[in-house]
Amino acid sequence: MTEIMKSIFKLLLLAIIVIIAFVLIQELPIRIGRFFHFNQGDLTIDSTFLSRNIPPDYLKILSLRKDCCNDSVHDELYFKQTTGFKLRNPISYFSYQKLYHLQILKIGSSYNLPLNENLIEKSLDFEEPHNAYYTTDKEDSINYWYKASVLKPEKKIHLNISGQDITTIIKNDTVACFYSQARKFEIRYNDDEKPDIYAFTTENMFNRNYKAIEILFFKHSNNLYLLIMSNSKYYKEGTLLNLLEHSHLISNY
């Protein structure tokens, strides 16, 4: 009987080890940083690196000092890290009030068209992109895919949000901000192209996992910036816009 019990114990221990190893393998790419999602077709490859520096133009938009945001206990806006790319512009990540996840990135240069005429928002269902490389990331229970190429808006910008309670908070020639309880969204610059950014929440059979999210486009000095704020549990509509209104750049509009 003792030998039988030992064998059963060994089998149970082995099963636990296998389960733990499987979970770690699934989570490993997210825990160590950014990685690639690939569907056969497009052979463009990007590479990424992590940095503790915030690009100067991002600091200016957020009205931050160079040495800011390093105190996770006392700073309302806490800097987590910047992801740099070989092909794309960097993405800087912050937490705000210990409740919200914020990211900022420049998606276009030499862009001076009015957003209220060239940003087209939709609320349609859509499938994940195929036949392309994407660098991927997971923040605040939202999976982000960034196209591994030098895509930038030339004229039209298509924002498609699949979700509930989609609200246009502001939309003028310089600033456009949207709020939604979203399942997924995509940003593309041509209906015939793959999306530049694709984001989705994890679904299961019991919960479609709508996440509160605020998406803001801001045009400044002929550059176009994208800011995304989200919170898995609680979100007060307009939080991102209110944060940026402290900046003299945004408040002018």
One digit per residue, the tens of pLDDT, for the chain of length 253 reads 566 776 666 677 777 776 665 544 444 333 333 444 444 444 455 567 788 899 999 999 998 888 788 777 667 899 999 988 888 899 999 999 888 999 999 998 888 899 999 999 988 777 777 666 677 676 667 888 888 777 678 788 999 999 888 899 999 999 999 999 888 999 998 877 888 999 988 765 455 678 889 999 999 888 999 999 998 667 888 899 988 887 656 655 5
Asked if residues 218 and 244 have their Cβ atoms less than 8 Å apart, the reply is: yes
Spatial separation of the C-alpha atoms in residues 98 and 195, rounded to whole Å: 31
pLDDT recorded at residue 160? 94
Residues near 226 by Cβ (< 8 Å), separated by ≥ 6? 104, 105, 106, 107, 187, 197, 215, 216, 217, 218
Q: Are residues 41 and 11 in the same domain?
A: no
Range of the domain at 27: 1-32
pLDDT recorded at residue 129? 75
pLDDT recorded at residue 223? 92
pLDDT recorded at residue 13? 72
pLDDT recorded at residue 23? 45
Do the strands 197-201 and 142-147 form a parallel or antiparallel pair, or are they unpaired?
antiparallel
Q: Are residues 62 and 156 in the same domain?
A: yes
Q: Are residues 23 and 103 in the same domain?
A: no
pLDDT recorded at residue 154? 79
Q: Are residues 225 and 185 in the same domain?
A: yes
Strand ranges in 148-252 using DSSP code E only, listed in sequence order: 157-171, 175-188, 197-201, 211-220, 223-231
Q: Are residues 237 and 131 in the same domain?
A: yes
Q: Are residues 24 and 114 in the same domain?
A: no
Q: Are residues 24 and 69 in the same domain?
A: no
Q: Are residues 240 and 144 in the same domain?
A: yes
pLDDT recorded at residue 213? 92
pLDDT recorded at residue 130? 65
Q: Are residues 28 and 113 in the same domain?
A: no
pLDDT recorded at residue 231? 84
Q: Are residues 4 and 89 in the same domain?
A: no
Nearest 5°: CA angle at 91, between 169 and 83? Answer: 155
In the chain, how many domains are there? Answer: 2
